Amino acid sequence: MNLDFKIKNLLLICLIFLGVFHQYYSQTQATHGFKTGADQPEIYLPLLKGKTVGVVTNQTGLINDRTHVVDFLVKNGIKIKSIFAPEHGFRGDADAGEKVKNGVDVKTGIPIVSLYGNNKKPKPEQLKGIDIVVFDIQDVGVRFYTYISTLTYLMEAGAENNVEVMVLDRPNPHDGYTDGPVLDKKWSSFVGMHEVPVVYGLTIGEYGKMVNGEKWLKNGIQAKYTLIPMKNYHKKLRYPMLEKPSPNLPNDKSINLYPSLCFFEGTQVSVGRGTDLPFQIYGSPWTKDLPYQFTPKPNFGAKDPFLNGKLCFGENLSNYPEDLRALNLEWIIKAYKNYKNPELDFFLKPAAGKNFWFDTLAGNDEFRKQIVSGKSIAEIKASWKPDLEKFEKIRKKYVIYEN
């Protein structure tokens, strides 16, 4: 009897091991041979030979051996006329919203043109003489993150000036699912240009295909668009990043929490800019019932952080599961309920004639009103469902990778 029991236990352990091994093996098989678009020069170099090229990139435009794509193209005899720099700059060291200056890349001597501030869309004179612009940036897969807007403006300028756009595709850390309110077109801005949800479940290359295919560029024009897809990429697996996408998204945890915590940017609550845990904590001087304490101070990623020098009370989410990808409303609602300041509203007041910044981030004013009226998380999420289902019909037309 005892021997039978031991044999059954041994068999059970073997079955569990085989199940875990199979799952691990499946994932390693799925990631085996993975390559970004940039890691497949045999595909794109022949398409660039003999052409005058522009490159939109930043510090994330790396090939697997950590060579920058600009250096790689120059080394392979590709003629680059201009480097176009998005938000955070060519080397990725500018604060969010900070003006990015034009200049010259010290290493290559190639002129740098800023695509941020007053010049978000390349001007005809900036594209003059260029045949094709290569776009290679690590995206985060969240609507407020402005690299999809930079790609949109590039495609629009390309279509207007007969310049081809080539995207070297990269993984989306929030791929394989959609969530959040879908933007209402009247709330369109640089942190949300299209009628898509906060999490849209497409790689940046797929997103560009959608913008072109749905004729979302101005006047319905379409760009000449070439996508260099990834190899052996699966939408629900996670892939390591060679470089952080921006100063305040230093690791997978901050990226996981970004779609949930970015809403705080429209409130009197800090998301930890000016600390060692940006987008992994939240707090305010006026949420004193919350347990965690921190004080934002100037640092590399935030020269003048929000609530600079003020003691904040909130929560530390840095131990949140590293592999979790979701949009969580618990924290924004908890902070609103715990906020006590009769002189300052929880939501940042807009300047005269402008919208609440929170509404611009949300893509509508309904979400803010739902929080104020005490709607539950389930009620708020249920209100998003019809628009998410409508978007899903559009999205699935442009998916080129397996889940």
Contact criterion met (CB below 8 Å) for 129 and 183: no
Give the architecture (CATH level 2) of 252-372.
Alpha-Beta Complex (3.90)
Tens digit of each residue's pLDDT (9 = 90 or more) over 317-345:
999 876 678 899 999 999 999 999 999 99
Q: How far is CA 21 from CA 31, 69, 403, in A?
A: 15, 37, 20
Task: Enumerate the β-bridge partners of residue 246.
Answer: 249
Lowest-pLDDT choice from 20-24, 58-62, 115-119, 230-234:
20-24
Tens digit of each residue's pLDDT (9 = 90 or more) over 168-214:
999 999 999 999 999 999 999 999 999 999 999 999 999 999 999 99
End-to-end CA distance of the chain: 47
Q: What pLDDT was estimated at residue 397?
A: 98
Q: What pLDDT was estimated at residue 18?
A: 41
Q: How far is CA 371 from CA 260, 271, 332, 335, 336, in A?
A: 14, 19, 9, 11, 8
pTM: 0.89
Amino acid at 70: V
Contact criterion met (CB below 8 Å) for 217 and 211: yes
For the chain, the structural domain boundaries read 41-228, 252-372
- Which of helix, strand or coil describes residue 144? coil
Contact criterion met (CB below 8 Å) for 216 and 398: no
- Which of helix, strand or coil describes residue 118? coil
Amino acid at 81: K
**Which of 242, 243, 305 lies closest to 278, judged by CA?**
305
How would residue 301 be classed by pLDDT, with cut points 50, 70 and 90?
confident
Q: What pLDDT was estimated at residue 101?
A: 64
For the cut 70, the answer to whether the pLDDT of residue 8 exceeds it is no
- Which of helix, strand or coil describes residue 361? helix
d(CA 294, CA 314): 8
CATH number of 41-228: 3.40.50.12170
Q: What pLDDT was estimated at residue 262?
A: 97
Q: What is the token pair recorded at 139?
A: 């995206």
When pLDDT is averaged across residues 129-150 and rounded to a whole number, the result is: 97
Contact criterion met (CB below 8 Å) for 108 and 57: no
Q: Scanning the structure block, which residue is given the tokens 């060679």?
A: 242
Q: What is the CA angle 42-44-46, rounded to 5?
A: 75
